[in-house]
Copies of this chain bind each other. A is one copy, B any other.
Amino acid sequence: MDASKLTIDVCFSPYLYPVYEKENQIVVVIDVLRATSAICTAFQYGVKRMIPVATVEEAKTYKDKGFLVGAERNAIAIDGFDFGNSPFHYMNDKVKGETIVITTTNGTQAIEAAKTAHAVVIGCFLNITALCEWLIKQQKSVLLLCSGWKNKFNLEDTLFAGAATEMLNKNESYKLLDGALATKYLYQEAHQNPYKFLNYSSHKERLSAMGLKEDIKYCLTLDKTQVIPILRGKYLELL
């Protein structure tokens, strides 16, 4: 291995993050279906800041203080809050200029796990090109952190990790570690029809059964936006 090269690696679960933690790497948090897709959409539609929180209780405290709050567990928007984690919930004039609190089953847990990293940014198919171009300019090693499903591996975040690995490494300027190699191979097989590729994935089944096929299709669309949300203290803000 050429030790001088920057690396790309993939961590398949927030639970595994401590094993992958290292100094000076940029962590991309991925929760394609649907938290990071919703977060990018919210910024696209004019949200000023978001506060990701790990628990519903914390979200409730913010709600009581008058914040707008998105809250989801097990793919369902929680009653009494303003949004769930569908991107479509945030395509809404009332988000403009606001600070929105968000808690989700997986994505906000991954942000919490990685919060002490050199930098934490939010990735999904919707902002993939803008994100990868920015990452390449930073000249840092990249860790793609898949949120998974309740700390288990999932297919859709893995697919995004592969797409990002391929895009980041088009000039072969990174060393791909094993997780990145595996996801890149998978994406090469899947890229012509990611929706079909995910056919048997557990979360696609879960969402399809809930009538959320449009959400899935939207979340698999490339380059709807240029926004790159980054974690600054407790806030996600635009770069």
Chain A residues within CB distance 8 Å of chain B = 1, 9-10, 12-13, 15-16, 19-20, 149-155, 158, 176-179, 181-182, 185-186, 188-190, 200-203, 205
The residue in A13, A20, A150, A151 that gathers the most chain B C-beta atoms within 10 A of its C-beta is A13
* Interface of A: prevailing SS: helix
Report if A153-B176 is in contact (Cβ < 8 Å); known contacts: A12-B12, A15-B19: no
Quick one: closest B residue to A12, CB to CB?
Answer: B12
Query: Contact: B153 with A182, CB < 8 Å?
Result: yes
For the complex, give the distance between the alpha carbons of A189 and B183 in Å.
12
Quick one: closest B residue to A153, CB to CB?
Answer: B179
Query: Contact: B155 with A182, CB < 8 Å?
Result: yes
Task: Show 21 A/B contacts (Cβ-Cβ < 8 Å), sorted by A.
Answer: A1-B205, A12-B12, A12-B16, A13-B16, A13-B19, A19-B151, A19-B152, A20-B152, A152-B177, A152-B179, A153-B178, A153-B179, A155-B178, A155-B181, A158-B178, A178-B201, A178-B202, A178-B203, A181-B200, A185-B186, A189-B189
Query: Contact: A178 with B152, CB < 8 Å?
Result: yes
Q: Which residues of B contact A16 (CB under 8 A)?
A: 12-13, 15-16, 151
Q: Which residues of B contact A203 (CB under 8 A)?
A: 178
Q: Which residues of B contact A9 (CB under 8 A)?
A: 152
Closest CB of chain B to A169's CB: distance in Å?
11
For the complex, give the distance between the alpha carbons of A19 and B13 in Å.
10
Q: Which residues of B contact A188 (CB under 8 A)?
A: 189
For the complex, give the distance between the alpha carbons of A176 and B205 in Å.
12
For the complex, give the distance between the alpha carbons of A1 and B209 in Å.
10
Closest CB of chain B to A149's CB: distance in Å?
8
Closest CB of chain B to A110's CB: distance in Å?
14
Report if A186-B178 is in contact (Cβ < 8 Å); known contacts: A15-B16, A16-B15: no
Closest CB of chain B to A92's CB: distance in Å?
32
Q: Which residues of B contact A205 (CB under 8 A)?
A: 1
Closest CB of chain B to A206's CB: distance in Å?
8
Quick one: closest B residue to A204, CB to CB?
Answer: B178
Q: Which residues of B contact A155 (CB under 8 A)?
A: 178, 181-182
Quick one: closest B residue to A13, CB to CB?
Answer: B16
